[in-house]
């Protein structure tokens, strides 16, 4: 490199000048030149050792035969090998037994984070708290439409849920709708009037929501006496629900609230166990999640903080 590179007055330039800045003809530092040549050599070595050049249907394999997918499979095999004893033990346990065993409960919760994120978080949100106004149930509170013990959560995951509230747009008079809207808003605050309860009973609301308005878990009906809203506690939204119902096929404006089944085969099995019968399968049952994954997710959801305990 040039000895006089630090004295710009003694170094020839290219004749180019911008705003008083001359472009000199100094050679680059030797370390920089050597690094440039070395990088070219490293590129050549990489081309030889690793897959590099695309071909028509494939690519060059390289002397090492390394691929990202093979590395992923190798790492996955190591993880599965460590998990295997726990997974085998889980498969033979009920969700209640998993919940009662601290070691297995911790494993189920820890190994379900990705499972929940992939399959549940899109609706129920991270940590079981969905976006406000989305209409999806909160999983981290104590309000359960069908029940929050771990066995019920297993059944919910397996068979899915699709409650139904009929549309009342054609059966209620405008003043009756107004009265029921006011009743629901008052009941949520704990100050429903006698006239409101009378209308509630006369119009048949008691049949689904119970004599105390707290809902019936066997039906999945909402508790009207708390301030937890499936859709919204706004007056206009309550009116819409009363008028058009939920999952009512006869009303195009009805609210749609459906949780899909994640393991129809397990749902059939659970139904048969309830009646102490042998399950009968028709061969069309879907299994989007395995039975073990269902149990793990049930424990995971139960541990959000709102899970009920069996008496």
**CATH number of the domain enclosing 107:** 1.10.760.10
Q: Known binder of ligand: residue 259? A: yes
- Can you give the pLDDT at residue 1? 46
Instruction: Enumerate the β-bridge partners of residue 149.
Output: 308
Closest C-alpha to 281, from 294, 265, 267, 292: 265
Q: Are residues 62 and 78 in the same domain?
A: no
Give the tens place of pLDDT for each residue, 79-114: 999 999 999 999 999 999 999 999 999 999 999 999
Query: Do residue 150 and residue 271 come from a single domain?
Result: yes
**Is the model's pLDDT at 276 over the cut of 70?**
yes
Could you tell me if residue 56 is inside a domain? yes
In this structure, what are the phi and psi dihedrals at residue 100, rounded to the nearest 5 degrees?
-85, -15
Asked whether residue 93 is marked as a ligand-binding residue, the answer is no
- What predicted TM-score, i.e. pTM, was given to this entire model? 0.79
Distance CA 256, CA 176 (A): 24
Average of per-residue pLDDT across 16-31:
86
Q: Is 16 annotated as a binding residue?
A: no
Domain count, the chain: 3
Would residue 190 count as lying in a domain? yes
DSSP code for 127: G
State yes or no: 205 annotated in a binding site.
yes
- Judge whether 240 is annotated as a binding position: no
pLDDT computed for residue 46 by the predictor? 92
In this structure, the answer to whether residues 273 and 144 fall within a common structural domain is yes
**Cβ contacts of 187 within 8 Å, gap of 6 or more:** 196, 213, 224, 225
> What number is the average pLDDT over the span 46-63?
89
Residue 115 within a domain: yes
**44, 116: one domain:** no
């Amino acid at each position: 490199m040039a000895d006089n590179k630090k004295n710009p007055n003694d170094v020839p330039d290219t004749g180019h000048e911008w705003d008083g800045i001359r472009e000199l003809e100094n050679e680059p530092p030797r370390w920089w030149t050597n690094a440039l040549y070395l990088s070219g050599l490293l590129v050549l070595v990489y081309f030889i050792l690793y897959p590099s050049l695309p071909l028509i249907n494939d690519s060059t394999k390289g002397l090492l035969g390394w691929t990202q997918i093979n590395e992923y499979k190798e790492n996955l095999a190591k993880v599965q090998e460590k998990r295997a004893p726990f997974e085998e033990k889980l498969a033979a346990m009920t969700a209640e037994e998993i919940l009662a065993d601290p070691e297995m409960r911790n494993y189920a919760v820890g190994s379900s984070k990705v499972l929940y994120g992939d399959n549940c978080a899109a609706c129920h949100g991270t940590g079981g708290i969905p976006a406000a106004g989305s209409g999806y149930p909160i999983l981290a509170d104590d309000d359960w439409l069908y029940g929050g013990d771990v066995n019920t959560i297993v059944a919910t995951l397996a068979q899915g849920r699709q409650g139904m509230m009929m549309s009342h747009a054609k059966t209620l008079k405008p003043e009756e709708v107004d009265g029921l809207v006011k009743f629901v808003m008052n009941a949520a605050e704990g100050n429903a009037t006698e006239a409101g309860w009378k209308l509630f009973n006369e119009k048949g609301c008691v049949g689904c929501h119970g004599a105390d308005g707290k809902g019936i878990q066997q039906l999945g009906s909402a508790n009207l006496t708390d301030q937890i809203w499936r859709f919204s506690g706004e007056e206009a939204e309550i009116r819409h629900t009363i008028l058009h119902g939920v999952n009512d096929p006869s009303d195009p404006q009805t609210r749609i609230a459906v949780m899909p089944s994640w393991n129809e085969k397990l749902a059939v099995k659970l139904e048969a166990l309830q009646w102490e019968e042998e399950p009968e399968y028709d061969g069309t049952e879907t299994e989007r999640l395995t039975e073990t994954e269902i149990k793990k997710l049930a424990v995971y959801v139960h541990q959000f903080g709102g899970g009920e305990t069996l008496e």
